[in-house]
Amino acid sequence: MGSPRWHDPKELRTFRPTPLAHAREAPLKSIQVQDLGRVQDIAGVLARNGFGQLFHRLGLSTMLSSVVESREPTAPYARRLRQVLVDLGPTYVKFGQILSVRPDIIPKDVLLEFQTLQDKVPPMPFEEVMEVLNTELNQPWHEVFSEIDPTPLGSASIAQVHRAVMVDGDEVAVKLQRPGIERVIRSDLHILYSLARLIEGRLKIPGFYTPVDIVREFDAAINRELDFLAEARAAERLHRNFKDDNGILIPKVKHRWSTRRLMVMEMVHGRPLKQVMAEVQEGGRVERTIAHRLMDATYRQVFEHGYFHADPHPGNVFVTDDGRLAYLDFGLTGMLTGAMQDTLLNAFTGMVFRDADTLAMTVYRAGATQERIDLRAFREEVERLMAKYHGASLEDIANPTTLIEVIQVAARYNINLPSEYAVLARGIGLVEGAVRVLLPGVDIVAEVIPYAQRLMRHRFAPERVAADAARLMMQLQTQFKDLPTHFDQVLMDLEGGKITFVTVDPDAPRLRQEISQGVLRLSLAALAATMTVGAFLLLAQWSPTPFGLPVFGVVGLGLFGIGTAIFGALGLHVFFARLLSLSYWRRRIVSVFRFFSWRRRG
């Protein structure tokens, strides 16, 4: 999902193989024969970028020796990893773009590199565009559109966008999916799954997400992007949420002409936000109104609507000719439950008002941990993080941004947060970066305090408190109503013997050992006493036999000697039990061996 995944920037070059990786040759059972050529291409790209040693660790150097001629690394591993995706083609570029919104999966240096990935794909010929339109519309395209600009407004690996005019005169943007792209992605996904299964269990990758988990996250995300109907529904939902906001524009979707591979929506005229940011950086006027509209829209999406645009980078946000903000490209959105919104509210107010305890405990309770963590150290690191932002201007704060760093700190302490928080953190990070440019020299905390105060007023408004109280009473009523049923069920389980009570005493092993030793001593004492008494009885019958030997006396002397020896052993066991323990001498021998081995190493 610390640096969440690879704490050491060199760790991609120093994977530690697990015992499964010691096999001489790893089987490729999950990779089909027709995919071997593509796997060799991937191996060659990895080798050219300094990752060829991975195949040696996987035991594949013999099979792929013709392509695995690894070069010595000359660039940072994050940059080389980005170049791998570029060299592999559009599907893998999209893979990196989708991972760039997940700071819980990849570390910050890789995250920043992946955020620079751009689809550089030649546009479809206009003949193919017309063919896709005719197929998806199920009629000739000129019966729906009176005009289509053959030069695309944008071209990416999955789709491209054209300006068009409908027969009723409406100007629209037409987004078309590339023919055959879904089939290509499915093939590449199969290879990614096969490679992930091959790596899993053979290379140790720190973090919560296994290689198969990472590919599965990509699979789910790319499925959403391939379904334009899902994107149309997302756009429609955001449009409804902002329909009463005169400063925000969400273009309307023409649902009648939209399909799974075609989306027709209202045309937006304006400048990309990245162009406005460039003008500010070149000495233009500070865009305070635009910055506050962007912040206000983000606030409303997170804390009021619970549904947010998860990829608001400056290329997906436009400033319209009349000064409004327009959001585009709705392939990646996120949804927050009421509990998630409350968690974010507590985290946001704790961060703004510099309450490290509240922020640390909020993050801890929101996540899941598999082991005990050092809460005091976690709180101290959160406090150091907050101190960095208080009193600093937006332009002085280095990437990654606040929430991303909080998530990465949580991951270092093995607190696994839901993926929605990571996606939101990256989205807010993009907004923060834009605001940093639009409002140079402004104190970040001073800018967000009004939003925190607004949050607190909303959170403790009488109607909100009354609603929370009513919901709590309803929950308590349900619990009390079900209490007799639960109690009857417990009694029935007790009666049927289905409930077992187990107590655990930490001193039980030591007590069992002492009881065992006591029983042994009592047994030895009883045996020694019996033999001694028997010996005296036989000695009392000392008389020569017909052969001239005192048989009873000899046997009595033997029994007396054995009894005396047992008594002696019993005394040794009582007074020197520790020295007679095999485990004691084993520990002593091992400690002596370690001492001399350490001296030899020194």
**DSSP-derived secondary structure for 472-523:** HHHHHHHHHHHHHHHHHHHHHHHHTT--------TTHHHHHHHHHHHHHHHH
Of residues 363, 331, 408, 314, the one with CA closest to residue 103: 408
* Contact criterion met (CB below 8 Å) for 552 and 542: yes
User: What's the sign of the alpha-carbon dihedral 512, 517, 523, 529?
Assistant: negative
202 with 83, same domain? Answer: yes
Query: For residue 402, what are the contacts with CB-CB under 8 A and spacing of at least 6?
Result: 351, 385, 389, 432
Of residues 362, 411, 359, 368, the one with CA closest to residue 387: 359
Domain count, the chain: 3
pLDDT value for 40: 73
> What tokens does 149 get?
């600009």
**Does 577 map to a domain?**
yes
Q: Distance between alpha carbon 420 and the CA centroid of its chain, in Å?
A: 10
70 with 203, same domain? Answer: yes
> What tokens does 338 get?
């009421």
Query: For residue 105, what are the contacts with CB-CB under 8 A and spacing of at least 6?
Result: 1, 4, 5, 99, 207, 209, 214, 217, 422
pLDDT value for 29: 45
Q: Distance between alpha carbon 274 and the CA centroid of its chain, in Å?
A: 30
540 with 438, same domain? Answer: no
Query: For residue 118, what are the contacts with CB-CB under 8 A and spacing of at least 6?
Result: 93
User: What's the sign of the alpha-carbon dihedral 231, 233, 237, 243?
Assistant: positive
Q: 3-state class of 26 per DSSP?
A: coil
426 with 557, same domain? Answer: no
199 with 59, same domain? Answer: yes
Instruction: Quickly tell me which residue has 């559009």 as its tokens.
Output: 90
Of residues 498, 515, 438, 464, the one with CA closest to residue 276: 438
Tell me 142's DSSP state. G
204 with 69, same domain? Answer: yes
pLDDT value for 209: 67
In the chain, the N- to C-terminal Cα span, in Å, equals: 41
207: left (phi over 0), alpha (psi -120 to 50) or beta: left
Helix/strand number for the chain, H first, E second: 21, 13
450 with 548, same domain? Answer: no
* d(C-alpha 458, C-alpha 362), whole Å: 19
**Does 68 map to a domain?**
yes
Q: CA separation (Å) from 432 to 163, 312, 542? A: 31, 11, 107
> What tokens does 272 get?
């990309």
* Contact criterion met (CB below 8 Å) for 302 and 421: no
Q: CA separation (Å) from 255 to 236, 265, 308, 391? A: 9, 8, 21, 48
285: left (phi over 0), alpha (psi -120 to 50) or beta: beta
Domain membership of residue 89 as a residue range:
11-118+195-209
* Contact criterion met (CB below 8 Å) for 397 and 370: no
User: What's the sign of the alpha-carbon dihedral 210, 214, 215, 219?
Assistant: positive
* Contact criterion met (CB below 8 Å) for 301 and 308: yes
**Does 257 map to a domain?**
no
Alpha helices in 34-139, H assignment, sequence order: 36-48, 53-57, 77-88, 90-99, 108-114, 126-137
Taking the chain (602 residues) in runs of 10, the rounded mean pLDDT of each run is: 36 35 39 63 79 66 52 74 85 83 75 78 89 93 94 89 94 93 86 80 61 83 89 94 92 94 94 90 81 90 90 89 91 86 79 77 78 80 75 45 73 79 81 83 69 69 69 71 76 78 73 76 80 75 62 74 79 67 70 68 55
Query: For residue 184, what are the contacts with CB-CB under 8 A and spacing of at least 6?
Result: 90, 91
Domain edge (last residue) among 430, 460, 490: 460
> What tokens does 254 get?
């023409």
Instruction: Quickly tell me which residue has 């009885």 as its tokens.
Output: 537
* d(C-alpha 294, C-alpha 286), whole Å: 14
Query: For residue 98, what are the contacts with CB-CB under 8 A and spacing of at least 6?
Result: 217, 218, 221, 222, 332
**Does 242 map to a domain?**
no
202 with 65, same domain? Answer: yes
**Does 544 map to a domain?**
yes
369 with 456, same domain? Answer: yes
CB atoms within 10 A of CB 388: 13
Q: Residue 353: is it exposed, middle or buried by C-beta count within 10 angstroms (0-12/13-18/19+)? A: middle
Instruction: Quickly tell me which residue has 């608001």 as its tokens.
Output: 312
* d(C-alpha 301, C-alpha 299), whole Å: 6
454 with 564, same domain? Answer: no
**Does 219 map to a domain?**
no
Domain edge (last residue) among 209, 231, 248: 209
**Does 467 map to a domain?**
no
66 with 201, same domain? Answer: yes
**Does 328 map to a domain?**
no
As beta bridge partners, residue 253 has: 265
Domain edge (last residue) among 422, 443, 460: 460
Of residues 94, 327, 316, the one with CA closest to residue 221: 94
341 with 420, same domain? Answer: yes
* d(C-alpha 287, C-alpha 302), whole Å: 23
